[in-house]
Amino acid sequence: MSDILQQLNDVQRQAVQTTSGPVMVLAGAGSGKTRVITYRIAYLIEQERVEPHQILALTFTNKAAKEMRHRIDQLLHQGSTRGLWIGTFHSVFARILRNYIHLIGYNSNFSIYDSDDSKSLVKQVMKELNIDTDSVPVNTIQGIISRAKNNFILPPQFQRDAADYNQQKAAKVYEVYTRKLKENNALDFDDLLIKPLELFVESPQLLEQLQDYFRYILIDEYQDTNRAQYLVAKQLASKHRNIFVVGDDAQSIYSWRGADITNILNFQQDYPDSSVFKLVENYRSTQTILKAANGIIRKNRRQIEKELVSHKSTGEPLTLIESFNEKREADKVGEYIRSLKLSKDYEYRDFAVFYRTNAQSRVLEDVLRLHRLPYRIFGSVSFYKRKEIKDAIAYLRFILNDHDNESLLRVINFPPRKIGDVSINKLRDFAESRNLSLYGAIRHAAEGGFQARLLNALNAFSSIIEQLKEISREGSVYDVLNSLYELTGIPLLLRAENTPEAMARYENLQELLSMARDFSDHHQGANGLNDFMNDIALATDSDEIQESDNYVSLMTVHAAKGLEFPVVFITGLEEKLFPLNYYEQEELEEERRLFYVALTRAQEKLYLSWSKSRYHYGQPQGCIRSMFIDEVDSDIVESEGGRLLSESRMERERPRQGVQQAGRFNGRSSVPSSFHERPRGEGAGVKKTSDMKAGTRVHHAMFGPGVVMAVQGSGSRQKAQIKFRNAGEKTLMVQYANLTIVS
């Protein structure tokens, strides 16, 4: 084992050998965190003679747990890890509950409900409580209950604190849902995290027994733990206090899933006697890439300071790609990939293209397909294979061909119309008896003796189809799809659901609308919808041809965490896209951490890309360059022409220096003092405040740089609503604000 430890750097070795008391390892991107955890477990078993069963290692994925166990087996003799507790939070806690859940009134053979089972029970409870699923979607209620459980908020407290309408309805459901789960001797996935806490309250003796059993607790990705996970780990470790956590606050990007960054930020407050080790030696990226990443994350207020260092060469500057629109942006990405592959012998697998939202993949997919560049969507499915897109396309296909029964059956209950299998079978029988198509049977359903409720649903459906057919005869593809959304209300239902999954589906539908608008703008003629569907059919068909593992990876930045690639493109770097809309400082800081994660995936070359315009909800809109681009040191960023941005800025500022000197010759300066105070990265032009409008970049002496969101009034009564980079949103009287407008 002493020989093996020679493979660790000094800080890693110290962390592994500090086996007593609380330890936090701040593992920067690419610094070898998995190695530290596995070597520590091996060290405890081999050198400290700790029994394997006394070690509890908690991870977030089965893949991570499997990899750790494999590495430990390689370090030690095969079989030396028998009895070692290593697994995900859910799997380990489920194992504990199987043995002891009888103490809180469940049988050990309890069922574990997956998301669909849970949703079904929530829906049943809502029906019993007469809560209309149209007013509050089932997924919304399910999501609210899940978040409450992850924060260890039980029904009585949640009912007291419920603020808005949705929470009040969810509180009623939560109470009954919890009772029915117990009646069914069942737990949902969130219960696997909170039932151990209930168990410890009910049986302090059991807690003490487990504390003695698990003398050493190790937690991977500690920055991703939620409140319930934090509390269970803290209670298990409270006696022997041998808790070892590994994580990186700079890579905390899952607050929307319940992750609480304060768990890692407050570790030293929870354990004042803790040892802290910072792993900052990065084995992945060039010095230039790390300089960009360090500079970005330094701007966050809530962080534990550390500076990544690289043993690689300086490397190339980052390249800034500026495009007229998103299609040109995708074209340029494809051109760079093709060029680099030829000039530097890269394989396709060496390239990754990142974006902030799933919907952005569509344009990239279309262009890469056009250029015959092989690609795969990582962590998701191809745009045209996403359920909501296939549903919308089925509507369009059916409008063109109402004999297409496959499309009909796909959309007849999208959105839900309560037309079940029994009703469909009756319609089939009626269609056969009258020698009609299935849709023909729907159109003549009044002659079939069906119940009034079913007749109303069928008439409502056929009315939508007939209206869309009429629109398709004269209108554009955009008109048809936009009308489909309005008549069915599908996007509104997704927005009302307001879960991360629903909002992603909503954005995908809006991207399809943008595609339809772009197509309509460039394709005139009577066969518009047919041509549009042909393009989609060809695109869908080409998704099937990928056999090799040599392809360009497309993914959201969230999906990229934990991965690395020689060449990375970060696309869509525009305000309101990346960073996505933010309203609080904490949200902006998480967006910045997400950008940091994107930067640190790159090993050799990094491209930052933005578009001056982009289709948004079916309309072309002007875009503002992301603040994150301006936060990267301009000395390490070059334009597409190969010139450093800092050099270009100096060139632009030279004439002003001459003007300033001429002004001083006359006894005054011609350049406002606020211009000299403006931070690096802002544009160079200065305009009058009368030119101010939404989208204008400004600078304020106290609040710093910002972007105008709206302007109201005129003259001395004019007000500006401004989102400042560091101070948040402010509404200022323009006359007294002393704003500098920059371009």
What is the per-residue pLDDT across 424-433, written as a single tens digit (0 to 9) for each?
888 888 888 8
Q: What distances in angstroms separate CA 141 from CA 148, 183, 411, one per listed residue?
A: 11, 20, 25
18 is in an annotated binding site: no
Q: Which of 190, 191, 221, 249 is catalytic?
A: 221
Please report the pLDDT score of residue 525 as a whole number: 59
Q: Phi and psi dihedrals of 111, rounded to 5?
A: -85, 150
CATH top-level class for 10-100+194-279? alpha beta
CATH of 386-515, one of 1.10.3720.10, 1.10.486.10, 3.10.100.10, 3.40.1050.10: 1.10.486.10
**147 labelled catalytic:** no
Best-predicted range by mean pLDDT (524-533, 600-609, 662-671, 701-710): 600-609
**251 labelled catalytic:** yes
Q: Which of 33, 169, 369, 517 is catalytic?
A: 33
Q: Is residue 421 pLDDT above 70, yes or no?
A: yes
Q: Which of 149, 410, 601, 625 is catalytic?
A: 601
27 is in an annotated binding site: yes
Average pLDDT score over residue span 258-280: 95
Please report the pLDDT score of residue 667 as a whole number: 35
Q: What distances in angstroms separate CA 229 from CA 129, 193, 341, 491, one per listed residue?
A: 32, 6, 45, 35
Per-residue pLDDT band for 519 (boundaries 50, 70, 90) equals confident
Average pLDDT score over residue span 81-104: 90
Please report the pLDDT score of residue 616 as a whole number: 84
32 is in an annotated binding site: yes
Please report the pLDDT score of residue 447 as a whole number: 84
**C-alpha to C-alpha distance for 113 and 94, rounded to whole angstroms:** 12
- DSSP letter at 625? B
Please report the pLDDT score of residue 135 as a whole number: 80
Best-predicted range by mean pLDDT (174-183, 495-504, 582-591): 174-183
34 is in an annotated binding site: yes
Q: Which of 34, 167, 540, 585 is catalytic?
A: 34
**664 labelled catalytic:** no
CATH top-level class for 113-184? mainly alpha
Asked: is 309-382+544-651 a CATH 3.40.190.10 domain? The reply is no
Query: What share of the chain in percent tops pLDDT 90?
Result: 54
Per-residue pLDDT band for 655 (boundaries 50, 70, 90) equals low
Cα radius of gyration (the chain): 30
Q: Which of 188, 190, 220, 631 is catalytic?
A: 220
Query: What are 186-217's pLDDT values in tens digits?
Result: 999 999 999 999 999 999 999 999 999 999 99
Strand partners, 556: 355
Average pLDDT score over residue span 606-635: 92
* CB 497, CB 416: distance < 8 Å: no
* CB 321, CB 607: distance < 8 Å: yes
Query: What are 270-308's pLDDT values in tens digits?
Result: 999 999 999 999 999 999 999 999 999 999 999 999 999
Closest residue by Cα to residue 601 from 550, 553, 634: 553
* CB 59, CB 86: distance < 8 Å: yes
**38 labelled catalytic:** no
* CB 699, CB 672: distance < 8 Å: no
pTM of the model as a whole: 0.79
Please report the pLDDT score of residue 674 as a whole number: 29
